[in-house]
Chains A and B, each alone.
Chain A
Amino acid sequence: MSITTKDVQHVAKLARLNMTPEEENLFTDQLNAILQYAEKLKELDTEGVEPTTHVLPLHNVMREDENRKSLPIEKVLLNAPDEEDGHFKVPAVME
C-alpha cells in the first residue's frame, strides 16, 4: 500500500493543515517510507490477540457527580487570542 499526493491532501484537510505543493511531495515521500516500514507488522499473526489500549487495568474512572470550584473566567480567558464579554471570540460561523 502506498499513499499518493492526493491522499496527503485529504489527510491534511482532516488534520486542519495547509500544505504547499513542495510540502505535499515531501510528506508523500516521508510518510510512504514510514508506512512501508510499518508494513512489517503484517508479518505477525494477531488473530485472537486482544488490543492493548493502555497498560493499566483501568476502565471508566468516575468521580462523584458533585460541584467543584472551577477556574475564574479571567483566568480561563488569560491566554485567549481574542475575547469579548467573557467569551472566546472567533470569526462568524454563519453568514
Chain B
Amino acid sequence: MSLFDYKLTEIHNKLHDKELSVSDLVDEAFRKIGERDEKVQAYITLNEEGARTQGKKLDDKLVSGEERGLLFGLPAGIKDNIVTEGLRTTCASQFLSNFNPVYDATVVSKLRAADAVTIGKLNMDEFAMGGSNENSSFYPVRNPWNLERVPGGSSGGSAAAVAAGEAFFTLGSDTGGSIRQPASYCGVVGLKPTYGLVSRFGLVAFASSLDQIGPLTKNVEDSAYVLQAIAGYDGMDSTSAKVEIPDYVSALNGDVSGLRIAVPKEYLGEGVDAGVKETVLSALKVLESLGAVWEEVSLPHTEYAVATYYLLASSEASSNLARFDGVRYGQRVDHIGSLLDLYHESRTQGFGDEVKRRIMLGTYALSSGYYDAYYLKAQKVRTLIKRDFDQVFEKYDVIIGPTAPTTAFKLGAQVDDPLTMYLNDILTIPVSLAGVPAISVPCGFADGMPVGLQIIGKAFDESTVLRTAHAYEQNTDHHKRRPEL
C-alpha cells in the first residue's frame, strides 16, 4: 500500500501522531515519480528542491505546534496552464517552453496558504486543447491502467498522476470536460465546479466563458477538502462569483434518501458503449438502494452541444491566443525582417496543429460575414442548452449519466480525425455550456478500463453533487482499486 492510498484525514492523523512527517510524504511523491513517470509521463517540470524545502518548513511547523492549513503537507501536482512563480509553466507548448511566471495564480496562493506542497507541473494537451494528451508538444501522457491507452485530456497528466500515486492530489482545468473525462478514463475523482466559484486569475486562458479550475483526487471526501481550500471570490478575476462558500465536507453525510435523480435518455443513447451503459445503470441501482429515486428525462438540445462548443470555445481561443506574438514572452524566431513577419513566424513555429486548427476555426467563425451565422448562432443555441438544464433542475436535484461515452481508447486511434475526437466530450460539453458543477466518480470497469459516473448539480450546489458522489462511493469499492504499474 502506498502512503497516498490513505485519505486526507488519515494522513493528518498520522502526522499528528508523529507516525509520519511531511518530508516522508514529499519523499513518497518523488519516489513514485522516479519509479513510474518514465512510463506514465505525467509531469513536465518537477519542483523537487522547492518541495523538499517546503516539506522541512512544514515539519518545523508540526514540531512547534503552529496552526496547520486545511491541506497541510499534501503533495500536489499542478496542471501546467496554471502559473507558478519561479516554476516553469509551459501549457505543454513549445511557445512557452522557457516561460518563467512572475506571479502565482490565485489557486496556487491558496494551496500554499493551506500548506499543500507543490511537487511539479503536469502534462496536458497543448493549451488545454484536446481529449487524449496526444497534443502535448513534449510527450503524451499514458494511462496508468494500460500504457497503450490515452489518459484522456486535456488534464491527462493531472488524472494519471493521481491514479499512479505520483501526487496526493492535483489541480486541473475543465473547459468542455478536461477534468471529468480524464478522471473517468483514469479511474479517479474529478470535479468541475460551477463557473465562477474558483478564481481563474493565473490560469492561461483558453475559452474564458467556460474555463474552470478544479481538483482531481482519489476519493470524494478529499475532493471536498481541496475545493474548500480553492473556492471563493477573487477581485483579480472579473468573472469570480460573490457567493458564500458552504462547508463542503460537512455536506458528506451519506444521506441520499428521497434525492431526485434525472437520467437524460440522450446520455445513454446511441454512441454510448454498452459496457459503459451497463456500469452506469448498476450505479443507479446502488443509489436507488440508498433511497434515491431516478427517472428518465430529456435534454433535447444535447446533440447540438458539441457544434456549439467548438464554435464558441475556438472563437474565444482565437482571441485569447492572440497574445502569443513573440514580443513580451515565449518563443521568438530569430533573424526576422518586419514586425509582422516576427508575429507570423513565432506563432507558426510555436503552436502545434490542434491549436492552429482551433485558432483558424475561431478566426473564421468571428470573421466578417460569418459572425452571425456561426458565433452568434452558437451563443443562441447555448441559451437553449442552458434552458434544458434549468427545466430539469426545477424538478430534480441532480442529473446523472456517464462521464464519457467510452472508456480510454488506444494512443493514435483518433489523432487523424479531429471531429471524432471532439465527440468524446459529448456528455461533458453540455454541462460546461450550462456552467453548472459536475463530478466524475469511478463506478466500475468495462473491458478492464475504468468508467466514470457523472453527477451534475445546480449552479453553486457542489454540496449536493459531493454528497451524492460520496454516498455512492461509500457503498462501492471501485475507488479503492489501483492500477498495477
Which of A's residues lie within 8 Å of B, judged by CB?
1, 3, 7-8, 11-12, 14-19, 27, 30-31, 33-35, 37-38, 40-44, 46, 49-56, 58, 61, 63, 71, 75-76, 78-82, 88, 90-93
Contacts and interface: CB of A to CB of B under 8 A. Distances in A.
A90 B360 CA distance: 25
B374 to A, nearest CB: 7
B303 interface: yes
A34 B103 CA distance: 38
Given A15-B347, A52-B383, A56-B196, 10 more contacts: A37-B306, A40-B307, A44-B304, A52-B386, A56-B195, A79-B102, A81-B332, A90-B327, A90-B342, A91-B342
Contacts of B382: 51-52
Contact of A80 (B308, B329, B347, B384): B329
Interface string B236-268: 001101000000000000000000000000000
B310 A54 contact: no
Nearest to A71: B102
Contact of A78 (B102, B308, B337, B374): B102
A44 B386 CA distance: 15
Q: Which of A8, A76, A81 has the most CB of B within 10 A?
A: A81
A90 B339 contact: yes
B214 to A, nearest CB: 16
If over half of B's interface residues share one DSSP class (helix, strand or loop), that class is named, otherwise mixed; here it is helix
Interface in B80-115: 98-100, 102-103
A51 B127 CA distance: 26
A41 B331 contact: no
A63 B253 CA distance: 40
Contact of B383 (A3, A50, A75, A91): A50
Contacts of A31: 357, 360-361, 364
Which 8 A/B pairs are nearest by Cβ-Cβ distance? A55-B435, A51-B379, A81-B332, A79-B329, A54-B209, A46-B380, A75-B102, A52-B382
A26 to B, nearest CB: 9
A38 B434 CA distance: 19
Interface in B307-334: 307-308, 310-311, 318, 322, 325-332
Q: How large is the interface on B (under 10, 10 to 19, 20 to 34, 35 or more residues)?
A: 35 or more
Nearest to A89: B327
Contact of B343 (A11, A16, A35): A16
A74 to B, nearest CB: 9
Given A15-B360, A27-B357, A88 B327 contact: yes
B475 interface: no
Contacts of B348: 17-19
Contacts of A43: 304
B345 interface: yes
B336 to A, nearest CB: 6
If over half of A's interface residues share one DSSP class (helix, strand or loop), that class is named, otherwise mixed; here it is loop
B392 interface: no
Contacts of B64: none
B367 interface: yes
Interface in B141-185: none
22 contacts: A12-B360, A14-B363, A14-B367, A15-B347, A15-B360, A27-B356, A40-B303, A41-B377, A44-B304, A46-B381, A49-B380, A51-B383, A53-B379, A55-B209, A55-B435, A58-B238, A61-B239, A79-B102, A81-B331, A90-B342, A91-B336, A92-B339
B20 interface: no
B235 interface: yes
B86 to A, nearest CB: 10
Given A31-B357, A71-B103, A78-B102, A41 B381 contact: yes
A46 B208 CA distance: 24
Given A14-B367, A76-B102, A79-B100, A55 B329 contact: no
Contact of A81 (B239, B318, B327, B374): B327
B378 interface: yes
Contacts of B363: 11, 14-15
Contacts of A61: 238-239
Contacts of B98: 79
Q: Which of A19, A37, A42, A50 has the most CB of B within 10 A?
A: A37
B359 interface: yes
Given A31-B357, A55-B435, A82-B332, A3 B381 contact: no
Q: Which of A7, A12, A19, A41 has the most CB of B within 10 A?
A: A41
B419 interface: yes
B435 A16 contact: no
Contact of A55 (B195, B238, B359, B376): B195
Contacts of A93: 339
B291 interface: no
A64 B347 CA distance: 36
B304 A91 contact: no
B386 A17 contact: no
Nearest to B423: A37
Contacts of A34: 310, 361, 418-419, 422
A79 B330 contact: yes
A85 B331 CA distance: 21
Given A82-B332, A88-B327, A41 B357 contact: no
Given A34-B419, A58-B239, A17 B209 contact: no
A79 B360 contact: no
